[in-house]
Amino acid sequence: MKKISIIFLLFVSAIYAQDETKKDSINFIDEVIVQAVRVNSDSPVTHSNLSKKEISKRNLGQDIPILMNYMPNVVTSSDAGAGVGYTYIRVRGSDASRVNVTVNGIPYNDAESQGTFWVNMGDFASSTQSLQLQRGVGTSTNGSGAFGASLNILTDAVSEEVHGEISNSFGSYGTRKHTVKFSTGKLGMDTERRSLSGVEVSRSIEFAGRLSNIYSDGYVDKAFSDLKSYFLQGSYTDENTLIKALVFGGKERTYQAWFGLSADELKEDRRQNPYTYDNETDNYQQDHYQLHWNEKLNENWSTNLGLNFTHGEGYFEQFKSEKKPEDYANLVVATDGSRTDLIVRRWLKNDFYVANFNANYTSEKLKVISGVSYSNYAGDHFGEVIWAKEFAENASVRDTYYESDAAKKDFSLFSKVTFNLSEKLKTYIDLQGRFVNYSTVGLTSDRNAISVASNFSFFNPKIGFTYKMNDNNSLYTSYSRANREPNRKDFELNINVKSEKMNDYELGWRLKTDNIKVSANIYYMQYKDQLILTGDIDDTGDYTRENVDDSYRLGLEIDADIQLNDKISIRPNISLSSNKIKDFSINRDNTTTFLGNSEIAFSPSIIAGNAFMYSPSDKFQLTLLSKFVGEQYLSNTETEASKLDSYFTSDFTISYELETNSIFKSIVFTGLVNNIFDKEYVDRGYTYLDTWTGPTSFEVQGYYPQATRNFLVGVTLKF
């Protein structure tokens, strides 16, 4: 209670001194929306930024995680192998369920699974103004706590001028992307006179939108993706106010590729798909409604209100062979001994409400951001039998064989203070209280009873210092505490699963000159009861997790941006790490085997990347991108049989903008060759731990092959 009181006092102090008088001020910028979850270049938080211009160079249909592949300590993958459809990201070895994602400050991670499903927002990169990836705990203000990173996305800014774009791209494996964008630009309104300030204020509105369709057959056989999406925005601005209303979402249909290939299948034909049923597909639609109101009260104070409603609804369809009728509520009759074939659809319908409010104070030496965030999730899980060789007498098509309701409430209260202790030393303090209630009752898809009613109260303090050595060099250090609740799958596997705790220590150095920028940092992430990936997957391709008592991630990250001359620049990065479970043991058949300090699964000790850019003019750029990912284990047993080989890949991009004097302002030609050296590589896999009886008997059960050399080309007409 004492911790909560401290946070409450900071919050009250931050909103108490509001001045009712509005003064003339500069126009608001869209970044106000995310200032509570983003950090500045001199903050004691390890981070990287990606601008709209950088994103556009490779935005030819692949999902956001793939576009982030060359950022420091990042590993990405996709089910279909070509970067379209279901895609994944890991940061510092932590999977996407531990990466806190916000869109305009609104939590995007699924409340129950904690995962991020980019397939539901196809071509979202085309509506992204910028993104910031904070490695480690980061700010993690709204939504689920970050245990690997925080990814903050800002959607398109308000456009000053009217414009439009038509983009089309085509490439390997039948991949194509079609995008239409428009903006009315700022449309002026009548001026009004402020009675308090006596200053005339110009007002304007803007409307913008996007429609997209992405399709790909996939590198893996039959693993097609059909993604339709939209983005609409309306805004109102004056000297003190920015109001934005956004509606965006997408509808996806993808063929399943979540089961990998065995070693023999990989050698035989690495593009084959073990699924044979024609409609083994995932079908889901997700729609987001956001309202943001930013108000500048005076030269020092501003506020931001964010509201969100998200509705999702869909199913995946599966053919089941030789199943027991009792596993499907005896809705079907056994036609071959005690088993039968059938087709099921497993549904998820959910609603997600969010309300954020921030009050911000900024002066020359002091910055305070305080706020509250509340979210309410309601989800309905159920499965239905849509076909069987023979239904039971009292059953019919679409009868449900399992159902469970879920609800999750998440409330957080935070305050962040940045102030100068001296001319060279800046301090950052961030205190957050987070309170979570999760409940679910009913049957799981395996028809096991589930009943959860859990409450979690977390206090997450952060403190950091930045020391400016001189005009070019600075040092920073920080300590962050993070707590995180289990997800739905964790409760299904173990009703007594524990929440996780982490202490994150960071020490970094930044160099900035006219031609060279270098960032180097050491991190130590110490976990208690970390929920680690076991290497096993469930029947929907999700990795299972279990608590381990004591574990850590220790690493060094270095990245640079070096301008060799006015035409050539390089951006290298490298990450070296040690990721260990202390005193790890595994229990099988009532026998416990102690493995000592074991390597954490899916945590390569070396990740390196580089971008070599040649720009003979502002309109023409050639880029060679390279990525190396070291060896990694697919389980925590550290046996050679579960080791995945290292791999090195390179991509090549070309971008040229041709200015015209006719109908179009310019025409942009873009080309991308992925994996130019035609490397056959695997970046993920899985193994079932119940097969483990010792290092010599343990085998990887599935590999996910990624695409060999492939290309995409695109043309964008700007007018």
Mean pLDDT computed over 128-132:
94
Q: What is the pLDDT of residues 418-444, one digit of tens each?
A: 999 999 999 999 999 999 999 999 999
DSSP secondary structure string for all residues of 314-371: EEEEEEEEEE-GGGGTT-B--SBTTBEEEEEEEEEEEEEEEEEEEEEEE-SSEEEEEE
Structure tokens at 162: 């009217």
pLDDT value of residue 699? 61
Q: Is the dihedral of CA 217, 218, 222, 224 positive or negative?
A: negative
Statement: residue 272 has pLDDT above 90: yes
Q: What is the pLDDT of residues 625-635, one digit of tens each?
A: 999 999 999 98
Q: Is the dihedral of CA 97, 98, 102, 107 positive or negative?
A: positive
- Cβ distance 416 to 450 under 8 Å? no
Mean pLDDT computed over 111-115:
92
Q: What is the pLDDT of residues 38-91, one digit of tens each?
A: 888 889 999 999 999 999 989 999 999 999 999 999 999 999 999 999 999 999
> Would residue 189 be called left, alpha or beta, if left means φ above 0 and alpha means ψ between -120 and 50 degrees?
beta
Statement: residue 197 has pLDDT above 60: no
Read off the pLDDT band of 140 (50, 70, 90).
Answer: low
- Cβ distance 91 to 68 under 8 Å? no
pLDDT value of residue 639? 81
Q: Of residues 443 and 1, which shows the higher confidence score?
A: 443
**Of 635, 408, 484, residue with least CA distance to 100:** 484
Contacts of 321 (CB under 8 A, 6+ apart): 341
- Cβ distance 482 to 497 under 8 Å? no
Amino acid (one-letter) located at 669: F
In 48-92, alpha helices (H):
52-56, 64-67
Mean pLDDT computed over 94-113:
92
Read off the pLDDT band of 200 (50, 70, 90).
Answer: low
Q: What is the pLDDT of residues 660-672, one digit of tens each?
A: 888 889 999 999 9
Q: What is the pLDDT of residues 461-473, one digit of tens each?
A: 999 999 999 999 9
Read off the pLDDT band of 697 (50, 70, 90).
Answer: low
pLDDT value of residue 6? 37
190 burial type by CB count under 10 A (0-12 exposed, 13-18 middle, 19+ buried)? exposed
Q: The pTM is what?
A: 0.91
pLDDT value of residue 7? 35
Statement: residue 11 has pLDDT above 50: no
Q: Residue 98 in 3-state DSSP?
A: helix
Percent of the chain's residues with pLDDT above 90: 78
**Of 157, 114, 151, residue with least CA distance to 38:** 151
Rounded to an integer, what is the distance from CA 122 to the centroid of its chain? 13
Statement: residue 586 has pLDDT above 90: no
Statement: residue 329 has pLDDT above 90: yes
Q: What is the pLDDT of residues 588-617, one digit of tens each?
A: 767 778 889 999 999 999 999 999 999 999
Q: Is the dihedral of CA 42, 575, 529, 495 positive or negative?
A: positive
Tell me whether strands 225-237 and 620-629 are parallel, antiparallel or unpaired: unpaired
Rounded to an integer, what is the distance from CA 390 to the centroid of its chain? 43
pLDDT value of residue 700? 67
Q: Is the dihedral of CA 81, 629, 576, 46 positive or negative?
A: negative
Dihedral angle computed from the Cα positions of residues 660, 661, 665 and 667, in that order, rounded to the nearest 10 degrees: -20
pLDDT value of residue 3? 41
**Of 424, 401, 413, residue with least CA distance to 355:** 413
Give the Å distances, CA to CA, from 526 to 15, 148, 190, 428, 702: 35, 12, 58, 21, 31
Backbone angles phi, psi at 478, to 5 degrees: -155, 155
- Cβ distance 332 to 318 under 8 Å? no
Interior CA angle at 547 toward 701 and 145, to 5°? 105
pLDDT value of residue 690? 60
Q: Which residues pair with 319 in a beta bridge?
A: 343
Structure tokens at 516: 């060279």
Average pLDDT, rounded, for the chain: 90
pLDDT value of residue 196? 41
Q: Residue 692 in 3-state DSSP?
A: coil
Neighbours of 443 (CB within 10 A): 18
How far apart CA 72 and CA 518 sit, in angstroms, is: 12
Half-sphere exposure of 109 (CA within 13 A, CB side): 26
CATH superfamily ID and name for 2-718: TonB-dependent receptor, beta-barrel domain (2.40.170.20)
**Of 619, 459, 524, residue with least CA distance to 56:** 619
Statement: residue 339 has pLDDT above 70: yes
Q: What is the pLDDT of residues 440-458, one digit of tens each?
A: 999 999 999 999 999 999 9
- The beta strand positions in 630-660, using DSSP E, are 632-633, 643-644, 647-659
